[in-house]
């Protein structure tokens, strides 16, 4: 028996697609709700709806509510050989889409889209860290007797400021959904952009508002994909170049280090190199995902030719264009692999330099302690010699001192014999107790010290 969470509907949805990777739409909506993919603040709701007819005249409308979306959809008509573009934005790349779930469902109903549009929204959600850095969502391609659908996530490098620093570069994403009606030759596009001032969206709107440029854009149903790729894909070269320059600067510094001198590398540099390495880790997955996207577009291009909607020459030009993008993606993939390997090697070299420096410092300290020990041994030998000499001369010194005491000893001038004073007992009475007290004090103090040491050892144990 399978246990379902209480907040998931266990009943089958009304529309079930058994040939879909996600046959149960409720599963997608549950994930979208948990991720907060849609906007709750009604003041931020915004859809930019643009229609272009066969004469290359475009009208653009901004919709801010579900009622406005319903009203506009009733007035808008689908013209043969036309374009319909719906742009949905985020406040920034870490915030929900500026559209409610009800509006997004209505967009799906109006475009008769499959599950791929719903699945596309899961990559745009509220978050507080850079999650899914290497995930681009699987590109989708659906072809039937009436339409061709293409859906994918395109990730690209973007420089937030004009400052040429690695920290100013980030990775952003744009969601793309296209549905081409093979009968009316009408294309419906839905773009999920990371910001309101997305450069691709600005360029697309400028081209649509210019009839000559709009006519060029409609020469092939897949050309808008090229506009997106051409806007952002070359940024990867700059992205890799900036980070490679940072790695090479530190690497060249590390290679010329002298262990006995003060190091010019530090732990901050090691952290910077590790950050470059971390930035390179997801790139291989991203470039492979882009390669899969290009393969999907190859299939769409071939499908358009098979349907008779595209002549041989436009098909051939698009096929060459996609091949070129595959070549660029492979070149960027190799560059990213090289940069990651170079960063890993440099980080290991810095760590080894620190290890060698610590070993060198420890060896210097060991040599110093050896010299100090040798000096101590020499001093001990000197003290030992002095002690031995003192012990040799101590008895004679004691006797000389004792016999030199005129109060207790004197020499008879006539017989030349030593005469001991009857008061000699005073010396004995004073000297013996004093010696005994001294020895007793030393014995008591040593015993007390041993007791304290034993108690301390027991306490530590």
Give the C-alpha separation, 158 to 169, whole Å.
6
Q: How many helices (H) and strands (E) does the chain have?
A: 12, 9
Give the C-alpha separation, 131 to 79, whole Å.
41
The helix-helix angle for 223-232 and 312-403 (nearest 10°) equals 30
Give the C-alpha separation, 180 to 148, whole Å.
5
Mean pLDDT score of the chain: 85
Stretch 275-299: mean pLDDT? 94
Give the C-alpha separation, 112 to 27, whole Å.
19
Q: What's the domain range around 33?
A: 22-218
Q: Are residues 89 and 173 in the same domain?
A: yes
Q: Are residues 344 and 247 in the same domain?
A: yes
Q: Are residues 382 and 321 in the same domain?
A: no
pTM summary value = 0.76
- Taking a C-beta distance cutoff of 8 angstroms, is the pair 214, 56 a contact? yes
Task: Return the pLDDT at 162.
Answer: 64
**Domain membership flag for residue 244:** yes
DSSP 11-56: SPPSS--TTSSS--HHHHHHHHHHHT-B---GGG--EEEEEE-TT-
Span 99-134, pLDDT tens digits? 999 999 999 998 888 888 888 999 999 998 888 888
Q: Are residues 95 and 146 in the same domain?
A: yes
* Beta strands, E only, 28-145: 47-52, 58-63, 83-89, 140-143
Residues 6+ apart with CB under 8 A from 447: none
Q: Are residues 333 and 388 in the same domain?
A: no
Q: Are residues 55 and 192 in the same domain?
A: yes
The yes-or-no verdict on residue 380 having pLDDT over 90 is no
Q: Are residues 187 and 172 in the same domain?
A: yes
Domain boundary among 218, 253, 279: 218
Q: Are residues 157 and 131 in the same domain?
A: yes
Instruction: Tell me the CATH number at 118.
Output: 3.30.460.20
Stretch 363-378: mean pLDDT? 80
Domain boundary among 159, 193, 218: 218
**Domain membership flag for residue 132:** yes
Domains: count for the chain: 3
Tokens of 359: 């070993």
- Taking a C-beta distance cutoff of 8 angstroms, is the pair 83, 49 a contact? no
**Domain membership flag for residue 134:** yes
**Domain membership flag for residue 3:** no
């Amino acid at each position: 028996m399978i246990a379902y969470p209480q907040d998931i509907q266990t009943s089958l949805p009304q529309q079930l697609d058994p040939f879909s990777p996600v046959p149960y739409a409720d599963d997608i909506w549950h994930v979208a709700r948990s991720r907060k993919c849609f906007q709750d603040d009604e003041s931020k709701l915004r859809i930019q709806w643009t229609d272009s007819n066969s004469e290359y005249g475009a009208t653009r409308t901004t919709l801010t509510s579900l009622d406005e979306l319903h009203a506009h959809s009733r007035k808008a008509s689908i013209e043969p050989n036309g374009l319909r573009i719906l742009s949905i934005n985020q406040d920034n790349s870490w915030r929900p889409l500026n559209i409610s779930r009800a509006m997004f469902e209505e967009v799906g109903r109006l475009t008769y889209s499959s599950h791929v549009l719903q699945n596309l929204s899961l990559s745009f959600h509220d978050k507080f860290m850079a999650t899914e850095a290497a995930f681009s969502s699987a590109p989708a391609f659906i072809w039937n007797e009436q339409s061709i659908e293409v859906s994918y996530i395109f990730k690209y490098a973007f420089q937030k400021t004009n400052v040429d620093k690695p920290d100013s570069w980030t990775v952003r994403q744009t969601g793309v959904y296209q549905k081409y009606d093979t009968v009316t030759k009408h294309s419906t596009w839905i773009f999920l952009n990371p910001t309101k001032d997305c450069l691709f969206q600005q360029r697309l709107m400028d081209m649509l508002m210019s009839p000559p440029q709009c006519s060029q854009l409609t020469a092939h149903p897949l050309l808008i994909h090229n506009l997106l790729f051409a806007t952002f894909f070359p940024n990867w070269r700059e992205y890799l170049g900036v980070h490679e320059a940072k790695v090479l600067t530190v690497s060249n510094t590390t290679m010329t280090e002298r262990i006995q001198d003060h190091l010019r590398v530090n732990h901050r540099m090691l952290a910077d190199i590790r950050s470059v390495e971390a930035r390179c880790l997801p790139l291989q997955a991203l470039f492979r995902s882009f390669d899969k996207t290009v393969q999907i577009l190859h299939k769409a291009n071939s499908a358009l030719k098979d349907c008779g909607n595209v002549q041989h020459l436009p098909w051939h030009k698009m096929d060459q264009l996609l091949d070129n993008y595959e070549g660029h993606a492979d070149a960027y993939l190799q560059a990213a692999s090289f940069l990651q390997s170079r960063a890993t090697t440099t980080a290991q070299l810095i760590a080894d330099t620190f290890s060698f420096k610590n070993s060198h410092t420890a060896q210097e300290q060991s040599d110093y302690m050896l010299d100090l020990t040798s000096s101590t041994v020499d001093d001990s030998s000197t003290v030992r010699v002095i002690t031995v000499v003192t012990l040799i001369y101590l008895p004679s010194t004691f006797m000389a001192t004792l016999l030199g005491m005129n109060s207790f000893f004197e020499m008879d001038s006539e017989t030349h014999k030593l005469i001991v004073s009857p008061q000699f007992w005073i010396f004995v009475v004073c000297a013996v107790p004093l010696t005994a007290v001294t020895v007793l004090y030393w014995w008591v103090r040593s015993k007390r010290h041993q007791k304290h040491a034993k108690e301390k050892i027991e306490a530590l144990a």
